Amino acid sequence: MTTTTSQVTGTANGVGSDAPRPDGTVKVRGEFAYASDLWHEDMLWGATLRSPHPYARITGIDIAEALAVQGVYAVLTHEDVPGVNRYGLEHADQPVLAGDLVRYQGEPVALVAADHPETARRAMKRIKVTYEELEPVTSSEAAVRGEGPALHPEGNVVRHVRIRRGAAEVPADVVVTGVYEVGMQDQAFLGPESGLAVPDTEGGVDLYVATQWLHVDQQQIVAALGLPVEKVRLTLGGVGGAFGGREDLSMQVHACLLALHTGKPVKMVYNREESFHGHVHRHPAKMYYEHGATSDGRLVYVRARLFLDGGAYASSTGAVVANAATLGVGPYTVDNVAIDCWGAYTNNPPCGAMRGFGAVQAAFAYESQMDKLAAACGLDPVELRIRNAMSEGAVMPTGQVVDSPAPVAELLERLRAKPLPASREFDLRHLPGGVSNTTHGEGVVRGVGYAVGIKNICFSEGFDDYSTARVRLQLVGGEPAATVHTAACEVGQGLVTIMQQIVRTELGVERVTVLPMDTSIGNGGSTSASRQSYVTGGAVQAACAAVRARLVSHAGLPPSSRVVGGKLVAADGVVVADLVSVLASATFDETVEWRHRPTHPLDDSGQGSAHVQYGLAAHRAVVDVDVELGLVKVVALDCVQDVGRALNPQAVLGQIQGGSAQGLGLAVMEEIQVLGGKVRNPSFTDYLIPTVLDMPPMSIDVLERPDPHAPYGLRGVGEPPAISSTPAIVAAIRAATGLALTRVPVRPEHLTGT
């Protein structure tokens, strides 16, 4: 890794250090308690009956036989939802339990609570539901055109974002067009949806759950239960990965309904097949692009039409559409832009948040176009990108001025300068097909490809994006100690570590405890949009500043005094007091609600300063392709990314490697196969994800070009590497084979023509 020096203040494990994760050892040992490990005496097990049809009218539900099964405590249908039988992340359009229509295969219809999970599943199979099957809507383009029935009262268009900047018609020397498709990708987190609902004696409920956004879950649950917010309390359970798939509700309301109905604790844990039906996925996309340029490769215009399949319910489709549109030309400067992006309702599985959030789909299209344009202009693909690269001061298609470093050209130049892997040597382990001995090197060709991507960081378009943090500084056992309390969800990304590092830096104490995340404190927002280090990190930093201000005032010191290594230090560096002596007479506790600078909605032409910050990453992929069998081996996947400032360099590397792995999966193997609205491969047997054997060596350069508007100058890290890795790999496969390859994932039949 190449990085600039990060200054650490306060303690050895502060900001800029490779501070160890407090949950790391127990996770490696298998001792960490995930939500699926939750247990309660005398608890029941919940199960969900789901629709086998993508679109059907429910004509009857008979629960009598299920209720008669010994050990069953409750069987619930839509008639048992005491509040509003609707929920949704952005629009309340999804039933808690379907009553009249089912709009996708896997939609929940009934619930069972029993004294054993097998009893619950056996009773579930005895629920008799009669359906009148209807013809499903399965094409997002057809849905946008108004073909087929309206799946919701407002029609089948969730949102249309229109971007117009510059001239409508402008001549160009070189014009390239393309039609590109992205398949439905799953987040494939290893910990299935799970939680435990525990009723209290006063009609309320405590829910311990694996989620990404405690307060939004709470808001939707109380509406469905018809309870005041103080009656429903959420605590984060151990989360086994998320990547966007836990932003929406899954079993949350269902477990609470069963617990309140039976008066007993109820645990729900999905199996892998149910998990595929129980959460949203990445939007499939079909995208039409046209790029015009001068003969020397300078972009003149970009025109595009993008269709995103949102599935049966809206989830976060509206925001995904906005991202795909506003980032639809990539990290390039172009004066004339016309982009239309639609998100559509269909009877396919619901789609919503997944790492990259609309930028992934657009990047595959615009980077494919940039390679096509380079070829048409007779230019090296990297050189073409550098000629058009945005930089600080550039104007986005939305009219927003980029007001922080945007080193796109530097990313590409550093990437191009990296040494390529050595020439291929005969070793079965390193060939496509590996030790299956499918080839001895005949028919294997090598290709190299580049791509760069851009992603907005934090929430956008005027959303009130904030986080709340409480920091307490006191003596514990005679030594200074701090506690941090937020509702920001740790889902495996390392937020707990970052919060500890910030407190150590700001308050100069090594002993920092992060309390369990729950709804007893103010909203922490969603663990998505690469926002938590920025927004919750900013909240923790601000709370520490408030604690420090009270501390130095109590000690009778100037406001400029600092806390370093357990000592109070004046502005000139002189130690003026010992922290222990000051804390002996007082405890300091501050809660802060912190916001980043405001964003603004887009107008009718898609103009407006909609985003807080932009993250940038570039990849170079080297692949070997067996053109006879259609097998691909990714030999190297190198990355250069600007992170503003690396708060924890090791964690940054992990995020870049993880995002690149998901991009590799989308490039060559990951797709939920949907036919006629039905999922054909809801298992890890048939839905393939990269393993350690599929991941190549990665040479990673981490640039630190601080954003002056962000805490510590940081940029969100997790999403950009998932954006540029996919098109880089496909570009390398194209270079090896000469094939157009306009769809991902690239499958063997795309390479062999079979």
DSSP, residue by residue, 43-83:
-EEEEEEE-SSSSEEEEEEE-HHHHTSTTEEEEE-GGG--S
536 close to 525: Cβ distance less than 8 angstroms: yes
How confident is the model over 258-280, as a mean pLDDT?
A: 98
- The answer to whether the CB of 260 falls within 8 A of the CB of 297 is no
pLDDT at 350: 98
pLDDT of residue 436: 81
The pLDDT value given to residue 438: 82
pLDDT tens digits, 500-558: 999 999 999 999 999 999 999 999 999 999 999 999 999 999 999 999 999 999 999 99
CA 640 to chain centroid? 20
Position 5 scores a pLDDT of: 30
Q: Can you say whether the dihedral through the CA atoms of 741, 742, 748, 754 is positive or negative?
A: negative
Question: 147-170 pLDDT, tens per residue?
Answer: 999 999 999 999 999 999 999 999
> Which residue would you say has higher pLDDT here, 287 or 427?
287
Tokens standing for residue 754: 């079979």
- Residues 305-322 pLDDT 10s: 999 999 999 999 999 999
pTM of the model: 0.96
Task: Give, in degrees to the nearest 5, the angle at Cα 23 between 18 and 27.
Answer: 115
The contacts of residue 399 (CB under 8 Å, 6+ apart) are 165, 607, 608, 609
* pLDDT value at residue 35: 98
Q: For residues 306 and 288, what is the distance between their CA atoms, to the nearest angstrom?
A: 6
Residue 361 pLDDT > 70: yes
CB 211 within 8 A of CB 318: no
Residue whose tokens read 């601000």? 542
- Segment holding 214, helix H or strand E: helix 214-225
CB neighbourhood size of 111 (10 A):
28
- Distance (Å, whole) CA 268 – CA 258: 10
Residue type, 717: V
Could you give the C-alpha distances from 151 to 155, 156, 466, 556, in angstroms and in order?
6, 6, 34, 67
User: Residue 321 and residue 209: Cα distance in Å, rounded?
Assistant: 29
* Predicted pLDDT of residue 1: 40
Peptide bond into 697 cis (omega under 30): no
Phi, psi (rounded to 5 degrees) for 260: -70, -35
Please state, in angstroms and rounded to a whole number, the distance separating the CA atoms of residues 159 and 290. Answer: 22
Whether residue 574 has pLDDT greater than 50: yes
Going from the C-alpha of 378 to that of each of 301, 303, 526, 652, 657, the distances in angstroms are 19, 22, 45, 37, 33
- pLDDT at 423 (0 to 100): 83
Judge whether residue 106 has pLDDT over 90.
yes
At 9, is the pLDDT very low, low, confident or very high (cuts 50, 70, 90)?
very low
Q: pLDDT tens, 157-209? A: 999 999 999 999 999 999 999 999 999 999 999 999 999 999 999 999 999 99
Q: With bands split at pLDDT 50, 70 and 90, how would you rate the model's confidence at 429?
A: confident
What's the CA gap between 107 and 471, in Å, rounded? 42
Does the structure show a pLDDT above 80 at 754? no
Q: Specify the DSSP element, H or E, that contains 668.
A: helix 649-668
pLDDT at 239 exceeding the cut of 70: yes
Beta strands in 425-582 (DSSP E): 444-457, 466-476, 479-486, 512-514, 562-564, 567-569, 575-578
